[in-house]
């Protein structure tokens, strides 16, 4: 993990120095002092390179003198466009440019403390690696940067701001680790065991095994796992940030109108009897990204001491074909009492969420519910990897989610959702049960999936985020390396921070 620290504005006398410059800005503050110490060579280098400060521009001065190893100037873009998101992107760019250095200093004395803190967050997020199973990696292939110091006028304020951001980064990294793990390591029972580590943050964690789920009547969720040797688990994580502490294992105050976050946790999805094609099936280890995001989010909220009552519920199953697996055409009874005709066993995530959504509202009476799931390939056809699909029965909640997505760069696009019994929803009517798990017509797969979920919501203000296209990336981003993105952790943390904390 990259160590981020903040210190008072004193010009470094050794090592590697990073100078951030906005468009058409002159060297000022410590950067001007640095140029003077280098006898004007910094300004000369910028002029020779036609450096204007545009985002993405850089000038590198190795061995410039004054005892320094290297000076790196990076463009910040337009000054009036500076915001936390652009600061994070700058931090990510700096980390990438410094990856072969052991440590570096960023001169941020011309920026305010909040932006400096977000530079640190961006660098931390971009520095993420998952090398757990690599045994032959050469030393020169490994990132070396282990410490980044950001110097500015109000280091104390930046340190305080960053402490909360670091808790969110911890949640992001937890989610990325969970989503990246292979399915032979992270199966439902193991995933549930790992959530118990969150108790040390003050979360109350409950784990329900197969026997408990059978007693509750989770027939829809259990139908998904019945073909697997790995038994299902339900994990409930409670954070008493507004109503007061309730230590795990002890009686305490109940959550009061919490915000409920629900995650699909299919730790591996073969499709079951409706088996998937072999090509690309290895990607289905991250069909539990919704559950991974909820787990990371709950860690982030607890880690930064969010003043909100929140509950995270994750349904964990493995979908495998076998002699005991659910067959297409089977009918199961859900926790809600509704019967479901299962026409396609690869439309399994909605069967998990149906039970967990209904249980969440019945037990906790949440003010709002938000679920996350890598639910449909259809959403990738619609939105690619640029946006997650947003389906909601509440305009106010949708607006809050869209704003949080824009602020964090985890963008959403609202998709159609109609009342139960209308247009898209009618395609889910079964001739022998209350509902069927896929639509009877072709097309609109992500919409009919959301319509199915809505039948288990009972009008409670709710949003469904289909993150199938954004949970994993095949290309590097400003603050996200290739692989698991942890999409939704920062988005939902921002939703809470901006709207639901007292």
pLDDT tens for the 502 residues of the chain, in order? 899 999 998 999 999 999 999 998 899 999 999 999 999 999 999 999 999 999 999 999 999 999 999 999 999 999 999 999 999 999 999 999 999 999 999 999 999 999 999 999 999 999 999 999 998 877 667 788 999 999 999 999 999 999 999 999 999 999 999 999 999 999 999 999 999 999 999 999 999 999 999 999 999 999 999 999 999 999 999 999 998 754 554 556 789 999 999 999 999 999 999 999 999 999 999 999 999 999 999 999 999 999 999 999 999 999 999 999 999 999 999 999 999 999 999 999 999 999 999 999 999 999 999 999 999 999 999 999 999 999 999 999 999 999 999 999 999 999 999 999 898 999 999 999 999 999 998 899 999 999 999 999 999 999 999 999 999 999 999 999 999 999 999 999 999 999 999 7
As a whole number of angstroms, the distance between CA 31 and CA 34 comes to 5
**In this predicted structure, what is the pLDDT of residue 11?**
93
- Element spanning 497, H or E: helix 489-499
**In this predicted structure, what is the pLDDT of residue 201?**
98
Of 72, 36, 37, give the one whose Cα is nearest residue 57: 72
**In this predicted structure, what is the pLDDT of residue 249?**
45
- The residues of the chain that CATH labels 3.40.630.10 are 166-499
Is 350 assigned a catalytic role? Answer: yes
Of 257, 300, 232, give the one whose Cα is nearest residue 495: 300
DSSP label at residue 23? T
309-319 and 233-240: which strand pairing? Answer: antiparallel
* CATH class of segment(s) 166-499: alpha beta
Q: What tokens does 203 get?
A: 């979360």
DSSP label at residue 421? T
Q: What tokens does 501 get?
A: 């904390």
**Would you say 263 and 293 are in contact if contact means Cβ atoms under 8 Å apart?**
yes
How many CB atoms are located within 10 Å of the residue 193 CB?
A: 13
Is 276 assigned a catalytic role? Answer: yes
As a whole number of angstroms, the distance between CA 269 and CA 323 comes to 17
- The residues of the chain that CATH labels 3.40.220.10 are 3-155
Q: What is the dihedral of CA 180, 186, 190, 196, to 10 degrees?
A: 10
**In this predicted structure, what is the pLDDT of residue 250?**
53
**In this predicted structure, what is the pLDDT of residue 442?**
85
**In this predicted structure, what is the pLDDT of residue 502?**
76
Q: Which of 36, 199, 276, 333 is catalytic?
A: 276
Q: What tokens does 328 get?
A: 């297409």
**Would you say 122 and 32 are in contact if contact means Cβ atoms under 8 Å apart?**
no
Please tell me the CATH code under which domain 3-155 is placed: 3.40.220.10
Q: Which of 350, 455, 460, 490 is catalytic?
A: 350
**Would you say 339 and 332 are in contact if contact means Cβ atoms under 8 Å apart?**
yes
């Amino acid at each position: 993990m990259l160590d981020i620290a903040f210190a008072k504005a004193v010009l470094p006398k050794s090592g590697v120095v990073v100078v951030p410059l906005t468009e058409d800005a002159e060297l000022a503050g410590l950067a001007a002092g640095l140029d003077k110490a280098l006898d004007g060579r910094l300004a000369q280098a910028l002029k020779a390179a036609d450096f204007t400060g545009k985002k993405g521009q850089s000038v590198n001065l190795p061995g410039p003198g004054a005892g320094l190893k290297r000076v790196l100037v990076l463009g910040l873009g337009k000054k009036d466009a500076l915001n936390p998101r652009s600061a994070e992107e700058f931090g990510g760019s700096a980390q990438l440019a410094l990856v072969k250095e052991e440590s570096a200093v960023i001169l941020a004395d011309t920026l305010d403390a909040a932006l400096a803190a977000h530079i640190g967050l961006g660098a931390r997020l971009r520095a993420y690696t998952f090398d757990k199973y690599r045994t032959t990696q050469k030393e020169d292939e490994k990132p070396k940067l282990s410490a980044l110091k950001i110097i500015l006028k109000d280091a104390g304020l930046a340190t305080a701001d960053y402490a909360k951001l670091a808790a969110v980064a911890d949640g992001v990294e937890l989610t990325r680790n969970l989503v990246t793990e292979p399915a032979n390591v992270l199966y439902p029972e193991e995933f549930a065991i790992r959530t118990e580590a969150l108790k040390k943050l003050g979360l109350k964690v409950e784990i329900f095994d197969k026997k408990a789920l059978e007693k509750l009547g989770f027939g829809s969720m259990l139908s998904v796992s019945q073909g697997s040797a790995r038994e299902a688990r339900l994990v409930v994580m409670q954070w008493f940030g507004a109503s007061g502490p309730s230590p795990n294992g002890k009686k305490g105050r109940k959550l009061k109108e919490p915000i409920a976050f629900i995650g699909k946790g299919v730790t591996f999805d073969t499709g079951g009897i409706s088996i998937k094609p072999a090509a690309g099936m290895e990607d289905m280890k991250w069909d539990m990204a919704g559950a991974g995001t909820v787990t990371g989010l709950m860690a982030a909220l607890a880690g930064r001491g969010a003043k909100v009552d929140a509950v995270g519920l994750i349904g964990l199953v493995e979908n495998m074909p076998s002699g005991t697996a659910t067959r297409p055409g089977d009918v199961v009874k859900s926790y809600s009492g509704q019967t479901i005709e299962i026409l396609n066993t690869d439309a399994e995530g909605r069967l998990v969420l149906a039970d967990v959504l209904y249980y969440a509202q019945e037990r906790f009476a949440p003010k709002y519910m938000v679920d996350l799931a890598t639910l449909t390939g259809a959403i990738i056809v619609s939105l690619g990897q640029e946006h997650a699909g947003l389906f909601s029965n509440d305009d106010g909640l949708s607006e809050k989610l869209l704003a949080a997505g824009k602020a964090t760069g985890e963008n959403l696009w609202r998709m159609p959702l109609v009342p139960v019994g209308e247009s898209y929803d009618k395609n889910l009517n079964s001739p022998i049960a209350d509902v069927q798990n896929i639509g009877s017509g072709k097309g609109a797969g992500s919409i009919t999936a959301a319509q199915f979920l809505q039948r288990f919501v009972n009008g409670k203000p709710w949003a469904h985020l289909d993150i199938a296209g954004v949970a994993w990336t095949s290309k590097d981003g400003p603050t996200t390396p290739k692989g698991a993105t942890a999409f939704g952790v920062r988005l939902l943390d921002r939703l809470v921070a901006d709207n639901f904390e007292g």
